[in-house]
């Protein structure tokens, strides 16, 4: 009798483990043995896009007028689906080596992807609450974070992330140079234009708005120097801004090219190993 009970327990445990492994294979893009996304992840990606679409549309009063019940039902549906997905991902987290062990699921729950999932679920708690309160509306707008969850489904986004990480030192240097140029141009415009336009250039922080618009080549035109020396400096700042924008662009372009080539080599190596 005891042997029968023990055997049943082993079979039950094996069945649960096997089921968890199958669910993990369908939810984790890296574990899917075939090319592309699993059917489950394709459905989830589509639902995420739909949820973000409705979150954007809901900010238009004309669209949501007299449709509160329908919108609440749609949001409740999305919340329920993503809640089930979140629970399943926590359940299968131990299948991944990084989250194996006694506290593996807890480590997963405090990871960045899991926290994004959780924060994106929070607005669902307010689905039956009025949207007049500012805090409630702010939480409801957090549904846009669901779009960030698409990152786990895209190899391209992983390639971009790897590219940025590989050039983080060069990008940091570009940011440092940009900060120095911003401070220098703001200080000079404050000294040159401060007395002529105290409202626009009466302090270095005020002058920084003009410097940001000029160095980024946006050029809103709402603030501009009027003195001859100030205009000369503005021209030099604008020319400098062109090079300032080109520098991180070139760094990222080279990094993206390297990341794409590495990804293609890995795919080719995996294909050859499969043969």
- The verdict on 222 and 143 lying in the same domain is no
- The verdict on 142 and 235 lying in the same domain is no
Contact 251, 171 (CB under 8 A): yes
- The verdict on 253 and 186 lying in the same domain is yes
pLDDT at residue 143, as a whole number = 59
- The verdict on 211 and 114 lying in the same domain is no
Q: Does residue 96 fall inside a structural domain?
A: yes
In this predicted model, what pLDDT tens digit does every residue of 125-159 receive, in sequence order? 665 454 444 455 555 556 566 666 666 666 666 66
- The verdict on 39 and 89 lying in the same domain is yes
Contact 83, 121 (CB under 8 A): yes
Residues with Cβ within 8 Å of 158's Cβ and at least 6 positions away in sequence, in order, are 151
pLDDT at residue 144, as a whole number = 62
- The residue among 153, 178, 197 that closes a domain is 153
Run of H or E including 142: none
Domain count, the chain: 2
pLDDT at residue 9, as a whole number = 47
Question: pTM for this one?
Answer: 0.58
CATH code for position 38:
1.20.120
In this predicted model, what pLDDT tens digit does every residue of 215-244 receive, in sequence order? 988 888 888 899 999 999 999 999 988 888
Domain interval for residue 8: 2-153
Residues with Cβ within 8 Å of 224's Cβ and at least 6 positions away in sequence, in order, are 210, 234
Q: Does residue 161 fall inside a structural domain?
A: no
Run of H or E including 205: helix 204-215
pLDDT at residue 6, as a whole number = 47
Please give the biggest Cα pair distance in the chain.
100
pLDDT at residue 145, as a whole number = 61
- The residue among 124, 153, 182 that closes a domain is 153
CATH code for position 246:
1.10.287.70
C-alpha span between 24 and 32 (Å, rounded): 9
Q: Does residue 254 fall inside a structural domain?
A: yes
pLDDT at residue 7, as a whole number = 44
In this predicted model, what pLDDT tens digit does every residue of 240-273 receive, in sequence order? 888 888 888 888 888 878 877 777 777 677 667 6
Q: Which two tokens stand for residue 16?
A: 């649960």
**Does 31 or 266 have the greater pLDDT score?**
31
Instruction: Read off φ and ψ for residue 129, nearest 5 degrees.
Output: -105, 145
- The verdict on 117 and 18 lying in the same domain is yes
């Amino acid at each position: 009798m005891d042997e029968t009970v023990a055997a049943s327990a082993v079979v039950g445990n094996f069945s649960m483990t096997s089921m968890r492994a199958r669910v993990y294979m369908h939810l984790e893009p890296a574990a899917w043995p075939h090319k592309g996304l699993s059917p489950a992840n394709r459905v989830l990606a589509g639902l995420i896009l739909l949820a973000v679409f409705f979150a954007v549309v809901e900010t238009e009063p004309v669209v949501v007028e007299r449709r509160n019940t329908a919108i609440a039902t749609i949001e409740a549906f999305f919340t329920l689906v993503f809640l089930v997905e979140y629970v399943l991902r926590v359940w299968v987290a131990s299948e991944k080596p990084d989250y194996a062990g006694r506290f593996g699921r807890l480590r997963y729950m405090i990871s960045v992807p899991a926290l994004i999932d959780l924060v994106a679920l929070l607005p669902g708690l307010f689905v039956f609450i009025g949207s007049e309160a500012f805090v409630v509306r702010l939480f409801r707008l957090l549904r846009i974070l669901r779009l960030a969850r698409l990152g786990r489904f895209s190899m391209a986004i992983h390639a971009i992330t790897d590219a940025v990480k590989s050039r983080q030192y060069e990008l940091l240097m570009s940011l440092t140079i940009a900060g120095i140029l911003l401070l220098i141009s703001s200080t000079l415009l404050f000294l040159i234009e401060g007395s002529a336009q105290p409202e626009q250039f009466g302090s270095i922080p005020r002058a920084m708005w003009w410097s940001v618009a000029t160095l980024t080549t946006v050029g809103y035109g709402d603030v501009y120097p009027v003195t001859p020396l100030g205009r000369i400096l503005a021209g030099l700042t604008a020319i400098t801004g062109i090079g300032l924008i080109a520098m991180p662009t070139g760094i990222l372009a080279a990094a993206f090219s390297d990341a794409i080539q590495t990804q293609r080599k890995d795919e080719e190596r995996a294909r050859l190993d499969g043969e």
